[in-house]
Amino acid sequence: MLIQEHLTLREKLEILTDAAKYDVACTSSGADRKGKKGTMGSAVPAGICHSFSADGRCISLLKILFTNECIYDCRYCVNRRSNDVVRTSFTPEEVCTLTMEFYRRNYIEGLFLSSGILHSPDYTMELICRTLWKLRHEHHFRGYIHVKAIPGADPALIEQAGFLADRMSVNLELPTAEGLRTLAPGKTREKILLPMRQIQRGIEAGKQELIPYRRDSAFVPAGQSTQMIVGATPESDYQMLSVAEALYQSYGLKRVFYSAFVRVNDDSLLPALPGGPPLLREHRLYQADWLLRYYGFQAGELLSEDRPNFNVLLDPKCDWAVRHLEQFPVEVNRADYYTLLRVPGMGVKSARRIVEARRHAALDFPDLKRFGVVLKRAMYFITCSGRVMMPFRQDQDAIAASLAGEERRRAWEIGEGNAYRQMSLFDDFHITVPPTAEDVSGAVWGVM
Ligand code: SF4
């Protein structure tokens, strides 16, 4: 391990932003804190860092590792102990300087701080806590902070960080205990779930005001998230989605992020993936995740032991609808909100608008278009006052084929895009494939 002690701040920044790029658990909505005289920054509940890079990832947080040194040897990780890479660490003051300077220049709206494990989980977590404390209390930074909880660290340190950060995350990384044993021998499921449970209880206690009031701070107000790697181990989409569902239900997670496995190490235990990172699979899991969180679906409705993986040609909602034609067509002027949500091409926002508007007059297809319904998907599944939008063959194969035409184009775009690439602070920021308006609204509203 080559530890560089005399690097400039810029050199450290290059190393430690690059080392952080495989962590995708970094969106920042959920915190609401206004700026105050004598302090720097603010956090708002939505939109604080909703910029999207070419591959749809969020880019406006300063996303760094505190250190890329690590005592563990996770097979999939570029920073694992056995890799011969240049190592370095920030000091707490250096992280504060970077955050404040970038914030002042309007480059970032917050900080995403993760870390390798330096010496021990406690030692690392203590450094992270010291950094956050300095940022909040010496630099009076009120912007958004997302920080990693280090599994195995003293619960008192996790609690301290929780009162300084907006969001915390503990990465599950691999969905099964078996996967962890194989690829992350220093980690166990119990070790990861323990801080997750502590954070969940802290958040709930805060909501019920069981934690003594602390001046100007709440415990992890923007909730906690986690990340799972897709395709490093043989788990099916069904297993991954079921784990995500359990995390939402039992641990109150705000978000589960899915990260297509990128083979950065030459290791016989890692899959070869000749076709590159499984980006379409990652995309399908995100789509299904939206369905769990906002559309009232359950993992068992979308997949099963017998059908364990998503259809590559149809998004999960279209796929479900085509397999349940007996539940359609839905009459838009009568169906309840939750039934509308199950129509492909209809999102949370458009369903709400429909329910509101039809109180005043019966709706027709042009109205639905105005409300944001994607009619080229929805038309197979709805009627307006008993009429279909245009005649079509009402059988499973014909509808699936029509929907798959559109989906094929989108799948091709995912495969052909910039593949796995994270914005770097040293890039020229030329995004060659900007997200379309539909992509952005889809990402924000989850319209599927
Ligand atoms: S704990 Fe594992 S995943 Fe995290 S930095 Fe260390 S080697 Fe990488």
pLDDT tens digit sequence for 143-178: 899 999 999 999 999 999 999 999 999 999 999 999
pLDDT at 36 exceeding the cut of 90: no
pLDDT band of 422, cuts 50, 70, 90: very low
CA-nearest residue for atom 7, ligand 1, is 80
Which residue among 71, 72, 83, 265 has the greatest number of ligand 1 atoms within 8 angstroms of its CB, and so is best to mutate? 72
Q: What is d(CA 295, CA 288) in angstroms, rounded to the nearest whole number?
A: 10
Helices and strands in the chain, H and E counts: 16, 10
Residue 170 near ligand 1, beta carbon < 6 Å: no
pLDDT band of 32, cuts 50, 70, 90: low
pLDDT at 327: 96
Residue 79 near ligand 1, beta carbon < 6 Å: yes
Which residue among 77, 82, 265 has the greatest number of ligand 1 atoms within 8 angstroms of its CB, and so is best to mutate? 77
Domain presence at residue 154: yes
Using the atom order of ligand 1, give the atom closest to the CA of residue 65: 5
Q: What is d(CA 32, CA 232) in angstroms, rounded to the nearest whole number?
A: 36
Element (H, E) at 282: helix 279-294
pLDDT at 276: 87
Calculate mean pLDDT across residues 368-376: 96
Using the atom order of ligand 1, give the atom closest to the CA of residue 115: 5
CA-nearest residue for atom 5, ligand 1, is 116
Q: What angle do CA 433, 438, 442 make, to 5 degrees?
A: 110
Domain presence at residue 48: yes
Using the atom order of ligand 1, give the atom closest to the CA of residue 79: 8
Sign of the CA dihedral with 137 first, then 142, 143, and 149 last? positive
Is the pLDDT higher at 143 or at 422?
Answer: 143
Residue 77 near ligand 1, beta carbon < 6 Å: yes
- Please give the tally of structural domains in the chain: 2
Q: What is d(CA 293, CA 300) in angstroms, rounded to the nearest whole number?
A: 14
Q: What is d(CA 176, CA 392) in angstroms, rounded to the nearest whole number?
A: 44
| Residue found by looking up tokens 């340190």 in the block | 157
pLDDT at 415 exceeding the cut of 60: no
21 alpha carbon – ligand 1 mean position (Å): 13
pLDDT at 444: 36
- On whether both 117 and 141 belong to a single domain, the answer is yes
Domain presence at residue 447: no
pLDDT at 394: 83
pLDDT at 1: 54
- On whether both 328 and 211 belong to a single domain, the answer is no
Report strand pairing: 2-3 vs 330-331: unpaired
Residue 70 near ligand 1, beta carbon < 6 Å: yes
pLDDT band of 410, cuts 50, 70, 90: low
pLDDT per position as a tens digit, 269-311? 999 888 889 999 999 999 999 999 999 999 999 999 999 999 9
Calculate mean pLDDT across residues 383-397: 93
Residue 228 near ligand 1, beta carbon < 6 Å: no
pLDDT at 19: 85
- On whether both 284 and 327 belong to a single domain, the answer is no
| Residue/partner pairs of 316-322 with CB below 8 Å, 24 or more apart | 316/284, 316/287, 316/288, 316/291, 316/448, 317/287, 317/291, 317/342, 317/344, 317/448, 318/344, 318/377, 318/400, 318/403, 318/407, 318/448, 321/380, 321/381, 322/396, 322/399, 322/400, 322/403
- On whether both 145 and 121 belong to a single domain, the answer is yes
- Residue 25 sits in a domain whose CATH number is 3.20.20.70
pLDDT at 319 exceeding the cut of 60: yes
pLDDT at 447 exceeding the cut of 50: no
pLDDT at 44 exceeding the cut of 50: no
- On whether both 298 and 403 belong to a single domain, the answer is no
Coil, strand, or helix at residue 235? coil
pLDDT at 43 exceeding the cut of 70: no
Residue 80 near ligand 1, beta carbon < 6 Å: yes
Domain presence at residue 438: no
| Residue found by looking up tokens 């302090």 in the block | 39
- On whether both 346 and 232 belong to a single domain, the answer is no
pLDDT per position as a tens digit, 112-121? 999 999 999 9
Using the atom order of ligand 1, give the atom closest to the CA of residue 116: 5
Is the pLDDT higher at 2 or at 245?
Answer: 245
- On whether both 282 and 320 belong to a single domain, the answer is no
pLDDT per position as a tens digit, 185-219? 889 999 999 999 999 999 999 887 755 555 467 89
Residue 16 near ligand 1, beta carbon < 6 Å: no
Element (H, E) at 168: strand 167-169
Residue 116 near ligand 1, beta carbon < 6 Å: yes
Is the pLDDT higher at 411 or at 107?
Answer: 107
Average pLDDT, the chain: 85
Question: What residues are paired with 229 via a beta bridge?
Answer: 259
Residue 74 near ligand 1, beta carbon < 6 Å: yes
Domain presence at residue 394: yes
- On whether both 96 and 133 belong to a single domain, the answer is yes
Q: What is d(CA 272, CA 282) in angstroms, rounded to the nearest whole number?
A: 17
Cis omega (within 30 of 0) on the bond before 329?
Answer: yes
CA-nearest residue for atom 2, ligand 1, is 74
- In percent, how much of the chain has pLDDT > 70? 79
CA 81 to chain centre: 27
Domain presence at residue 405: yes
Sign of the CA dihedral with 210 first, then 212, 215, and 217 last? negative
124 alpha carbon – ligand 1 mean position (Å): 12
- Residue 369 domain boundaries: 316-415
Give the DSSP letter of residue 93. Answer: H
44 alpha carbon – ligand 1 mean position (Å): 31
pLDDT at 30: 44
Domain presence at residue 437: no
pLDDT band of 420, cuts 50, 70, 90: very low
CA-nearest residue for atom 1, ligand 1, is 72
pLDDT at 52 exceeding the cut of 60: no
Is the pLDDT higher at 54 or at 165?
Answer: 165
Which range has the worst mean pLDDT, 121-125, 330-334, 413-417? Answer: 413-417
Coil, strand, or helix at residue 353? helix
Domain presence at residue 310: no
pLDDT at 396 exceeding the cut of 50: yes
pLDDT per position as a tens digit, 333-350? 999 999 999 999 999 999
Among candidate residues 210, 213, 192, 214, the one with its CA nearest the CA of residue 201: 210
- On whether both 381 and 257 belong to a single domain, the answer is no
Give the DSSP letter of residue 213. Answer: P
